[in-house]
């Protein structure tokens, strides 16, 4: 295959920026050179004035997820094309086992949806919605043979995905044995369901009551309980979509004690609020119904989360990309906020939104790359194949233009939605060129990739456990 030298750019890895030329040979990175010292007999890609970063890795997406009588509106095809546009070259989506289902059959169903349809590489975590003896046995098989080393459980959604503390403990014990990571949706769903029913009985049906009936202390409580249970089992633990100061404090405490406890947050919890978005007039707030909910701007959640990203108490930024259209989907919840499908679409915008944090002085360039690419790869067993610009790594590369701008909104987005949760956001930077395993898939404002280019990524154990 052809060789390509990316010249004149500044390579940014998690270790920081350094001017280097990058030689791509076929699907992988062959070598790095001091500027101007690479081979002359190859094609070149001019990266002058641009950052050359490892492709984004979004470890929390839900393409075409069935939820609440409908399904997330991005297919694996449309969602991974949108990901590519946004500088994301690997997603890790969630295959779902529900109570009574055989884990391997559920996984096969997700492979069938994704295979041949993805524009960028993809892996799977496994959601365990029904932990029993068979499901516990299946965890070993997935780790040993299927390249799935992470299992997600829910302390929320009673009757749907919910696991009780005993089920959680048993899965954690299994993970402690086989080296897998337990991922947790930490909200006290039993208590939330009581508050939600009481609100509805008072006639409080608007979207904002989705947030008001899921108070942040109930995320903090569940976070603490999961940390205690993981300690009993001796298992590593990763919190998905952490949104609340109370939860962050518990994670920080566990990390200070040397525990294998990790957490991600998502752009919506860093930028959007209960009052300004979820509390929008009429039914408009439904656009931002997700769980956990957007948090109050009158509390300290947003600055605390940015600080957590700086200090590594938050290790990862993912999106929890789970888009629904307003028409026929979010509208299912008119008159009853508990019927609004939960989810926000952001897979296309994460690299831009977190880069804006660099521009605003909240994060370093290195930390942008680390939280959006390198640590996701390391935590979920894809490093150093993914998550770094280094010889031997897959040539998943983004040329990012710090002098460009990006206007987020319905008119320009590629996600399959009839609105944008980010309408009107302007980013002081731009995804210029995207390579997926050596192939240019986005350049000059054109998508040149194809569905089916993306391959399944078999993942190994986390390399961040201590
Ligand atoms: Zn999710």
Do 171 and 139 form a contact (C-beta atoms < 8 A)? yes
**CA 395 – ligand 1 centroid, Å:** 28
Range from 62-71, 320-329, 452-461 carrying the lowest mean pLDDT: 62-71
Distance of alpha carbon 228 from alpha carbon 232, whole angstroms: 6
Nearest Cα neighbor of 431 from 446, 411, 416 is 446
**CA 61 – ligand 1 centroid, Å:** 7
Mean pLDDT (whole number) for 214-229 = 98
**CA 67 – ligand 1 centroid, Å:** 11
Confidence of residue 44 (pLDDT cuts 50, 70, 90): very high
**CA 308 – ligand 1 centroid, Å:** 20
Residue 460: count other Cβ atoms within 10 Å of its Cβ.
Answer: 14
pLDDT number for residue 276: 98
Confidence of residue 286 (pLDDT cuts 50, 70, 90): very high
pLDDT number for residue 466: 82
**CA 320 – ligand 1 centroid, Å:** 5
pLDDT number for residue 1: 55
pLDDT tops 80 at residue 252? yes
Q: What are the pLDDT digits (tens) for 161-218?
A: 999 999 999 999 999 999 999 999 999 999 999 999 999 999 999 999 999 999 999 9
Q: In the chain, pLDDT over 70 holds for what percent of residues? A: 100
Adjacency order of strands within the sheet including 56-61: 56-61, 88-97, 121-128, 150-154, 181-185, 237-239, 261-265, 316-317
pTM: 0.98
**CA 290 – ligand 1 centroid, Å:** 9
Distance of alpha carbon 426 from alpha carbon 246, whole angstroms: 30
Rounded to 10 deg, the angle between the 245-256 and 301-311 helix axes is 30
pLDDT tops 90 at residue 95? yes
**CA 33 – ligand 1 centroid, Å:** 40
**CA 96 – ligand 1 centroid, Å:** 11
Collect all residues with Cβ–Cβ distance below 8 Å to 303 and sequence separation of at least 6.
none
**CA 366 – ligand 1 centroid, Å:** 26
**CA 153 – ligand 1 centroid, Å:** 10
pLDDT number for residue 401: 98
Q: What are the pLDDT digits (tens) for 354-381?
A: 999 999 999 999 999 999 999 999 999 9
Environment class of 465 (CB within 10 Å of its CB; exposed 0-12, middle 13-18, buried 19+): exposed
**CA 62 – ligand 1 centroid, Å:** 7
The class that CATH gives domain 55-379 is: alpha beta
DSSP state of 144: I
Per-domain residue ranges of the chain = 55-379
Do 232 and 168 form a contact (C-beta atoms < 8 A)? no
Q: In the chain, pLDDT over 90 holds for what percent of residues? A: 98
Distance of alpha carbon 163 from alpha carbon 229, whole angstroms: 13
**CA 280 – ligand 1 centroid, Å:** 23
Mean pLDDT (whole number) for 295-307 = 98
**CA 68 – ligand 1 centroid, Å:** 14
State how far Cα 112 lies from the chain centre: 22
β-strands 181-185, 150-154: how paired?
parallel
β-strands 28-33, 21-25: how paired?
antiparallel
């Amino acid at each position: 295959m052809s060789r390509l030298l990316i010249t004149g750019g500044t390579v940014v890895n998690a270790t920081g920026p350094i001017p280097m030329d990058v030689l791509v040979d076929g699907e992988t990175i062959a070598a790095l050179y001091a500027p101007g010292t690479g081979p002359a007999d190859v094609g070149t890609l001019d990266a002058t004035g641009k950052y050359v970063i490892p492709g984004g890795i979004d470890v929390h997406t839900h393409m075409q997820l069935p939820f609440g009588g409908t399904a997330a509106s991005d297919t694996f095809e449309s969602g991974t094309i949108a990901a590519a546009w946004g500088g994301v070259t690997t997603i890790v989506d969630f295959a779902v086992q529900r109570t009574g289902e055989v884990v391997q059959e559920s996984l096969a169903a997700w492979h069938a949806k994704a295979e041949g349809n993805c524009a960028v590489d993809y892996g799977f975590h496994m959601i365990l919605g029904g932990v029993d003896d068979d499901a516990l046995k299946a965890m070993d098989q997935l780790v040993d043979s299927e390249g799935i080393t992470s299992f997600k459980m829910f302390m929320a959604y009673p009757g749907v995905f919910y696991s009780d503390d005993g089920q959680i403990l048993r899965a954690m014990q299994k993970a402690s044995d086989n080296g897998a990571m337990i991922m947790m949706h930490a909200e006290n769903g039993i208590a939330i369901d009581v508050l939600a029913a009481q609100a509805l009985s008072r006639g409080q049906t608007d979207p904002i009551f989705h947030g008001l009936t899921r108070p942040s202390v109930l995320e903090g409580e569940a976070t603490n309980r999961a940390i205690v249970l993981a300690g009993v089992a001796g298992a590593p633990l990763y919190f998905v979509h952490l949104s609340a100061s109370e939860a962050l404090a518990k994670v920080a405490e566990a990390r200070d004690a040397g525990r294998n406890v990790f957490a991600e947050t998502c752009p919506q919890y860093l930028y959007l609020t209960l009052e300004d978005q979820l509390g929008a007039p009429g039914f408009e707030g439904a656009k931002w119904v997700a769980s956990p909910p957007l948090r109050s701007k009158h509390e300290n959640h947003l600055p605390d989360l940015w600080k957590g990203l700086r200090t590594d108490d938050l290790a990862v930024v993912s999106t929890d990309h789970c888009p629904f259209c307003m028409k026929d989907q979010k509208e299912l919840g008119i008159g009853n906020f508990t019927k609004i499908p939960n989810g926000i679409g952001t897979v296309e915008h994460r690299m831009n939104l977190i880069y804006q944090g660099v521009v605003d002085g909240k994060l370093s360039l290195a930390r942008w790359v680390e939280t959006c690419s390198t640590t996701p790869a390391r935590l979920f067993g894809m490093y150093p194949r993914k998550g770094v610009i280094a010889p031997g790594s897959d040539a998943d590369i983004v040329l990012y233009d710090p002098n460009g701008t990006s206007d987020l909104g319905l008119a320009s987005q590629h996600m399959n939605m009839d609105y944008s949760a980010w309408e009107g956001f302007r980013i002081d930077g731009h995804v210029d060129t995207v390579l997926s395993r050596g192939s240019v898939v986005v350049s000059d404002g054109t998508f040149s990739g194809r569905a089916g280019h993306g391959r399944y990524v078999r993942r190994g154990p986390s390399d961040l456990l201590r």
